[in-house]
Structure 1
Amino acid sequence: MTRATRAELFCRDSVPMGAATEQSRVLGRLRSLAEAGVLADLTVRTWPDRVTTGDDLARCEFALCREFQAWADDRDVRLAPAFESHDCHNSYTNTRYTTTVLPVICLALYDEDDLLAVYPHSGPHGVRTVLDGISVLEAESEPIAAPRPASNRPPRV
């Protein structure tokens, strides 16, 4: 995998205490990696428990779901069951819509603007959790090097 330079952590709002504790623990590990220079940028966002098509306030979440699904399709992995989509019917208005349940916590890793990985996901090698994604980052624990300024000295021989 190309080295991740940026991470986005998505945390569902209004979760039980146990889930909130886990979200805080994950955020602490990611902040440590950012402080150590392993990540150049860390963004933390909250999102609702579910989004429904036609909801103008959920455009950002739907765009993320499409981006994440395209990544999964390209790699022959699945985002389910963490992301669950349901086709629904409102018998009162006789309308159909799709609701997507968002995970309690999700980690997206980028190289600049290129999406490298989404956690959690599942595939031929089993389920890969957000903690697995952090472990990948920790394995790459060398700080991201800033470009070195050009030197006026001749190279050493």
Structure 2
Amino acid sequence: MQGSTQPDDTRAELYVRSLLPDGHTQQQAAILDRLEWLSDADVLSDISVQVIGRQLPSTPAEARTEFGLFALNRVSVFQEWAKRNDCSLEPAFRVRSVDSELSGEQYRALVFPIQLLAEYEGSELRCVTPHTADGETVTVTDRLAMLEGEEEATFAALERAHAPRPPTRSDSPAADALDEDSDPLLPE
């Protein structure tokens, strides 16, 4: 895509759920191939992939790991972007009651979508997919087709959204090093 108008720091974070049946893992591989093509074509300057479990604790107080806090922080920022753009992230995210097989107790968990694409320009969050706008749901596949066709997003960017990498075993930042707005705006 010669002459691309994309800025040098336009990047994507792809969140994928782990432990899915074969059909879904093949779909995720196809999504990754398309993202790599967009990177090779200079539409995106960077791609990162985050593997996430099926569900997260529903509040930061219930998160037991730094990655859990990171993920809840991202969800909060994603939901703020959706609110700013009159979009909804439902049904991609939903809160459900779960029965613990270990303790026998019930708890609330945030179910994460099978795949989610977050696009950034510098530190600004430009788009989160899947989302629903004007009664129509845009899937990750739909959004990739838009990017491949160099369609401009008409969304308002979330300016204070920065995209820190999740903590790894080699670097363990304190939980307060994440966004100060770490209380997610979870659906009821």
TM-score range with shorter-chain normalisation? 0.7 to 0.9
User: Which among 9, 13, 17 is matched to residue 8 of structure 1?
Assistant: 13
**CA distances 1:29-84 after superposition (whole Å, capped 9, x unpaired):** 00011012111111111011000131222101100110100001111111011111
Aligned equivalent of 1:112? 122
User: Which among 24, 35, 50 is matched to residue 45 of structure 1?
Assistant: 50
Gap runs ≥5 in structure 2: 152-188
Aligned pairs, number: 138
Higher RCO, 1 or 2 (CA under 8 Å, sep at least 6)? 1
With normalisation by structure 1, the TM-score equals 0.79
User: Which among 81, 90, 101 is matched to residue 91 of structure 2?
Assistant: 81
In 1, the alpha carbon distance for the partners of 2:79 and 2:106 equals 22
In 2, the alpha carbon distance for the partners of 1:38 and 1:9 equals 15
Structure with a larger share of its residues in strand: 1
In 2, the alpha carbon distance for the partners of 1:9 and 1:67 equals 15
In 2, the alpha carbon distance for the partners of 1:3 and 1:87 equals 42
Runs (4+) off by over 2 Å:
86-90, 95-98
- 2:6–2:42 contact (8 Å) kept in structure 1: no
- 2:6–2:44 contact (8 Å) kept in structure 1: no
Report how far residue 99 of structure 1 moved.
1.1
**CA distances 1:96-144 after superposition (whole Å, capped 9, x unpaired):** 8531000011101111111111110112150000011111211229xxx
Gap runs ≥5 in structure 1: 142-157
Which one has a bigger Cα radius of gyration? Answer: 1
